[in-house]
Amino acid sequence: MSVSTAPLVEPELVIITGMSGAGRTTGAKVLEDLGYFVIDNLPPSLISRVFELATHHGSSVDRIAMVVDVRGRQFFGDLRTTLDDLRQRGTPLRVLFLDAGDEALVSRFEGERRTHPLAGDDRVVDGIARERGLLSDLRAEADLVVDTTDVTVHQLRERLVDVFAEPGHRGMVVNVVTFGFKNGAPRDADVVLDVRFLPNPHWEESLRPYTGVDQPVRDYVMRDDRAKEFLERVNGLVGLMVPSFEAEGKRYLTVAVGCTGGKHRSVVLGEEIAAYIDELGMPVQVEHRDRLSE
């Protein structure tokens, strides 16, 4: 007799949508950390079909999130019809709408030198205005609207974890971010560690093409006794901080590790710290922000 692995309850669906630049990517990452099966940039006309495939009989997927936005262009007009159909079928559905003020959105696009998807040859502010017009009804009907105008990435993560974590979820997610000081430290970091005191592989011609995820660079960095002592002390600190923060109810901790360019030393040590956190049994994700930058 076979045993079915199908979910015991009706699978849950979260639609992540909202203004471009308001934090949809962060929202998707947070839900992924919480165990959602996440699909990005899905045409609305395919939502129902993909949801059925992902949660069919025998599937272990019981929480799914889909990012839908104006990148879908002509497909976006189908979204409200699709959502109505899903609700009529009794699908547990929530719509998360991420928003921000026009000035904040303009600043983010200009800071990242990106083109707004609806701006065309016009100004960023014109693209924002068009997008607001398209999304106004959807925003009004969303289950949760989060304004990220004055919210850091860290604060947004905290808010979404509070809303979407399963009942009884108490695990804190630790994010280890490696970076280069020449590009600025992450704004949402709770702890910043500086490893520029270690010898820089950049000055070794044979190692320059590699990054900290490559074994030759790792061997070079870790052969220094100071790197080993640094890790021992940091891991001791992390071992104290992480459970203590979790006990205080903190849901998300960002540990940033920086070197000059963010390609070698910080990557090696960031990987080591993340491995130690994983050994503690804490959910951990690693982001090497500047590893591939010039």
Block means of pLDDT (10 residues each) for the chain, 294 residues, are 46 89 91 88 81 74 85 64 85 90 88 78 87 86 87 84 69 86 85 96 94 96 97 94 77 88 96 93 88 76
Q: Do 132 and 259 fall into the same domain?
A: no
**Same domain, residue pair 136 and 23:** yes
Identify whether residues 122 and 29 lie together within a single domain: yes
User: How many angstroms separate the Cα of 110 from the Cα of each of 103, 114, 147, 168?
Assistant: 11, 6, 19, 41
Q: Kindly report the pTM of this predicted structure.
A: 0.57
Q: Please state the φ and ψ torsions of residue 288, each to the nearest 5 degrees.
A: -95, 85
Domain of 205, in residue numbers: 173-288
DSSP string, 221-282: HHTSHHHHHHHHHHHHHHHHHHHHHHHTT--EEEEEEEESSSSSHHHHHHHHHHHHHHHTT-
Mark whether 34 and 126 lie in a shared domain: yes
Is 127 within the bounds of a domain? yes
Q: Is residue 144 part of a domain?
A: yes
Domain stops at, among 141, 164, 187:
164
The rounded distance, in Å, linking the Cα atoms of 252 and 107 is 26
Sheet holding 93-99, edge to edge: 37-39, 63-67, 12-18, 93-99, 144-147
Same domain, 101 and 236: no
Provide the token pair at 120.
């065309």
CB of 154 closer than 8 Å to CB of 185: no
pLDDT at 294: 59
Residue 221 resides in a domain: yes
User: Checking DSSP bridges between strand 93-99 and strand 12-18, what pairing results, if any?
Assistant: parallel
What is the C-alpha to C-alpha distance for residues 221 and 227, in angstroms, rounded to an integer?
7
Give me the number of domains the chain comprises.
2
Closest CA to 256 of 169, 195, 168, 204: 195
Q: Are residues 62 and 189 in the same domain?
A: no
Report the 10 Å Cβ neighbour count for 3: 5
* Whether residue 146 sits in one domain with residue 201: no
Q: Is the domain of 148 the same as that of 204?
A: no
105 in a structural domain: yes
Check which CATH number belongs to the domain holding 117 and give it. 3.40.50.300
Q: Please indicate, yes or no, whether residues 248 and 105 belong to a single structural domain of this protein.
A: no
User: What pLDDT, on the 0 to 100 scale, is given for residue 58?
Assistant: 65
**Which tokens hold the place of 231?**
């890790």
Q: Evaluate whether residue 3 is within a structural domain.
A: no
Q: Are residues 155 and 201 in the same domain?
A: no
- Of 142, 164, 186, which closes a domain? 164
For residues 267 and 188, state if they share a domain: yes
